[in-house]
Structure 1
């Protein structure tokens, strides 16, 4: 096995590859701004004219999933906690099936642009506004993390100014998203997912060659306890076990794929319901491929540094910097390839941020502008959509500053989705799966779910779980010799190892901290969803003497089954007509 050397630096060809990726992304946006007459209506800008097909939409969904948080955070996760992360393969299957068979049919049949329009059809406008507000907060917070992640990679790899990279990310995304709308987002994603796969593949192939083959990498991982696939401990306080990943992960990712506007907006832009479903199932295959690449990169990291951990040895200031460190270590003799990896991380960010900006513009136009300014023309709404894209691009850049305080990128991102996405998933599930739920139950359930997850989420940030809960695996430094210590290592922007920069130190631990605040971050979404559902059901039953069952277009097949179940236990009464999108039946 080749002896470790000092890491390399960016060369001219690396900058050329990186700049080419940015240029092509911008050109795609310009093309779709003017192709076929440009973005004449909000439908063209926000929904691609509802003429998209399965394959590009599937690749776009994949690219957004494979953000820089995935490129940098997942291999680091495997390096520190082991290959149990690969159990997410089962989670992804469950998430895609639930999204395709429960949520997609409802949203697609309604022909809506904003998923939160459903909440007004099902409940009332106040529930819709609450859902819209939570989505906007969630998306801006998450996008801040996604913008900060590749800037951190650039800083580690090239010494490029951290905040210069943050601003550049936001500006490029805002540019092509504002010009080209959803079509530009989807087709740049198709290009960028190719860049991301190429970046991962270059690392895996070169690591296998240097380490002596995949078998050596797996052998090192086995000896280091990294092949820990089957931890069946049911304790919900353990950070990652088989059950936390399957149960907690399914709820967390369903809140993203099933009801989050950024994802839903793309698959309901397909020209048919069949194409929309196919986009999700094709995306599943791509998710498995990405997960395999992430796990292999994490095991390659461990094989390379199993006897000299760069983080413990102070060669990097945070675990999320390990992947760019590895790239500059093993690919320094191949001009342009380190640039390809940084372009890989940056592409993940461009795809995620652009889809977030487009979704924020769609929700704001549909939920906040159109209901209050009914006289606006289609052309005016199109201009407003583009202006909102610029505004949200600026806001997302600003939120990246908060992301710099969040610690571990992957856990921070999923924690935010859990705290806000969980109650939102519970709210939609209440409307789609519980026919007798009413607007009072929806509001009370949403507030209860959000309060509970906010409590445990903030508590976990202030009082992070102890090592016996997170269970990090052992990292060694006995192999760090003079070759390492004599190297002039690049200074990087420091970032705390803890999951939070807000951690309270030097305080006596209590049972509340060691139990409630130590709940696995993957269960935040589960907790929020179940509390919202449970409280919503109880409140609906206690505030509605006459049950109103919503059938037809705004209830899923599962909801219709529940309706039939209740009908057998109640006396049939006359029907109450409503609008063309649904039908209320009183029992």
Structure 2
């Protein structure tokens, strides 16, 4: 790759600032390993003893899902395609609202640790295991992308070995996650969130000054069509329009947030449901702040390179390197600031990878290890959980190698989540919204959703959409000296495209943001059809705490219709909470700390008669049913 001699390089202070990120993150892990050494239980390690408060959890959620994919990929996307990315604010708002009001209450009140425990309570063990395996594959794939992204940035601006950077990231994440558990992950995320904001603000302030002020940036972006945000073309083959981002983005991010173990695990670690909901809404504010920073960074970057695009000129080899190149261009002469930005990119990755490792260890321990080894001691469970963190740290790090072949990091990351997250969202929707769904419908729907979304996603990867559907905006090189004419001819010369099948310009060219919506629709429709063909589940077999029927939204005005809309699920007016939610007799009894027939076994309140119910420390009395719980 040709490097523009005018761009600065890393200096000693940059390395110091960058190294401080790793040292402090590791130190947080060591601190919690020492502080919590007397609380040697798997529950304490995996969910922080369910004593977290809303602010650190909110910051942790924001840091984890606004990863290096956002820090590097979103500004590059805005630079090339325009500011339509800001419409994701609608998707984020819808996603957080639905997660807080629909999915979180079900998970929190169920007293679960792994999200997929719900699927056993609602359907069967087989459905739970299948969903867990899909989640593991999805998370390892996604984490590989977000490990690769900042390593690429570091390679671009410092010349560090790409794979050495990847392994350094994986080792540090695995280290503090294994030592300190969820508390170390959350508080490291808080620190890393601060670093991300500092990095963005530094770039925005210095870039705006270099461009002559915010008015000049706005004018240049307008002249370059970067502010043409709202495109209401309903064509589903267009990459980014108002509809693909607002509708497709909502489904994509709801699959990431609403039923994702990494999100729900931190929410249920809060001391009450009210705190968990507040964490989600505070997190929305954080998501919007980071989104605005990323979009405006892209506009500032475009203004700076309006006359000399470094990608077309050959100064960088891939679009995702432009942001790192821009940082070195405007901050290279200021020791420490380039290091701060690279630390910003790595902060997003460290938080995402650590959260993923912790979530993967949790679902594997809860869904597989405890199923195979039923009499594990707490000490053994803690050591196994730590061992799983190491295993998944290695898996996620090595997966980053494949990410180098996946193209643009934003599209690659969201495509992975769409292909897997949509069917998973559909599966939980079948359980929560449609009480009559049986386990056969759930399993069949999941298989149909996965098949359809992967068909579209893999087809789109093999046969990319035509340039007319991608709609990249014009990039200018009139103001810079290109490498040489032969290189440019090679770069710009048309290549022989492989023969395209009939579906290449229709089904395979669908916007990647619709993968999740397609998976959700296929899962729900197939699940309902199979359910009615094989016989719907009887209402008396479902505990009301596990569902929130969609038909209830339409019939709330009449008690008679309200009962009918619960589709036969047993409930009684005496068991209605003040909020209008129905709670089973067993749950009410547990709240009053009274034993019931369902929980009596050999003279002990074990709860083993509930399918997949978690006895011991995960009884419903510890599931957030306190006076301040927002039921």
* Structure 2 match to 1:207: 207
Of 514, 520, 545 in structure 2, the residue corresponding to residue 553 of structure 1 is 545
Q: Which moved more, 1:574-583 or 1:174-183?
A: 574-583
Q: Which runs of 5+ in 2 are unaligned?
A: 485-490, 572-583, 587-597, 600-606, 612-631
Separation in structure 2 between the aligned mates of residue 570 and residue 541 of structure 1, nearest angstrom: 17
Contact 1:182-1:358 at 8 Å conserved across structures: yes
Shift of 1:505: 6.1
- Aligned position for 2:411: 411
Q: Secondary structure at the match of 1:522?
A: helix
Q: Which residue of 2 aligns with 1:492?
A: none
d(CA) in 2 for partners of 1:238, 1:574: 47
Q: 1:485–1:211: structure 2 CA closer, same or farther, 3 Å change rule?
A: farther
Partner of 1:515: 506
Asked if structure 2 preserves the Cα contact closer than 8 Å seen for 1:435 and 1:562, the reply is no
Could you say if the C-alpha distance between residues 95 and 570 of structure 1 is closer, same or farther in structure 2, counting changes exceeding 3 Å? closer
Q: Is contact 1:441-1:538 (8 Å) kept?
A: yes
Gaps of 5+ in 1: 487-495, 498-503
Please say if residues 314 and 483 of structure 2, whose CA atoms lie closer than 8 Å, have aligned partners that are also in contact: no
Indicate conservation of the 8 Å contact 1:232/1:243, yes or no. Answer: yes
SS of corresponding position for 2:406: coil
Deviation track 1:282-318 (CA, whole Å, cap 9, x = no partner) reads 0111111001100110001100111111111110000
Does residue 538 of the first structure (1) align with residue 529 of the second (2)?
yes
The 5 Å alignment of 1:364-403 reads 364-403=364-403
Matches within 5 A, 1:129-208: 129-208=129-208
The reply on whether 1:525 has 2:516 as its aligned counterpart is: yes
Give the number of aligned pairs: 564
CA contact (8 A) 1:46 1:362 kept: yes
Distance 1:537 1:179 in 2: 45
Deviations along 1:26-82, whole A, 9 cap, x unmatched?
000000011043551011110011000000000000000111111000000100110
Distance 1:505 1:516, change over 3 A: farther
TM score, norm. by length of structure 1:
0.92
Counterpart CA distance in 1 for 2:567 and 2:20 is 68
Q: Secondary structure of 2:312's match?
A: coil
The equivalent residue for 1:96 is 96
After superposition, where does 1:174-573 map in structure 2 within 5 Å?
174-481=174-481, 506-544=497-535, 547-548=538-539, 550-556=542-548, 558=550, 568=564
Given the superposition, is the C-alpha separation of residues 568 and 107 from structure 1 closer, same or farther in structure 2, using an over 3 Å criterion?
A: closer
Q: CA separation in 2, counterparts of 1:247 and 1:63?
A: 24
In structure 1, what is the Cα distance between the partners aligned to 2:169 and 2:567?
60
Q: Is the 8 A contact 2:435 2:567 kept in 1?
A: no
TM norm structure 2: 0.86
The residue aligned with 2:87 is: 87
CA contact (8 A) 1:259 1:425 kept: yes
Q: Which sits farther off after the overlay, 268-277 or 564-573?
A: 564-573
Offset of 1:568 from its aligned partner? 3.6
- The corresponding residue for 1:70 is 70
Q: CA separation in 2, counterparts of 1:252 and 1:460?
A: 17
Q: Distance in 1 between matches of 2:25 and 2:15?
A: 16
Say whether the 8 Å CA contact 1:552–1:583 is kept in structure 2.
no
Structure 2 CA distance, aligned partners of 1:107 and 1:505? 52
Q: Contact 1:39/1:181 (CA < 8 Å) preserved in 2? A: no
1:117–1:128 contact (8 Å) kept in structure 2: yes
Over the aligned positions, Cα root-mean-square deviation in angstroms equals 2.4
Q: Is the 8 A contact 1:551 1:560 kept in 2?
A: no
> Is the contact between residue 170 and residue 393 of structure 1 (CA under 8 Å) also seen in structure 2?
yes
Contact 1:33 1:39 in 2 (8 A): no
Which of 1 and 2 has greater Rg?
2
For the structure 1 residues 378 and 560, does the alpha-carbon distance in structure 2 shift closer, same or farther, using more than 3 Å as the test?
farther
Offset at 1:398? 1.1
Relative distance call for 1:229 and 1:332 in structure 2 (3 A) is same
Q: Structure 1 residues 447 and 571, CA, compared in 2 at 3 Å: closer, same or farther?
A: closer
Question: 1:545, CA displacement in angstroms?
Answer: 5.7
- Alpha-carbon deviation of 1:508? 3.0
Could you tell me how far 1:572 is from its partner in structure 2? Answer: 6.7
1:546–1:302 Cα change, 3 Å? closer
- Once residues 11 and 331 of structure 2 are traced to their aligned partners in structure 1, the CA distance between those partners, rounded to angstroms, is 12
Cα gap change, 1:531 to 1:545, in 2 (>3 Å): closer
Q: Would you say the 8 A contact 1:435–1:559 is kept in 2?
A: no
CA contact (8 A) 1:221 1:227 kept: yes
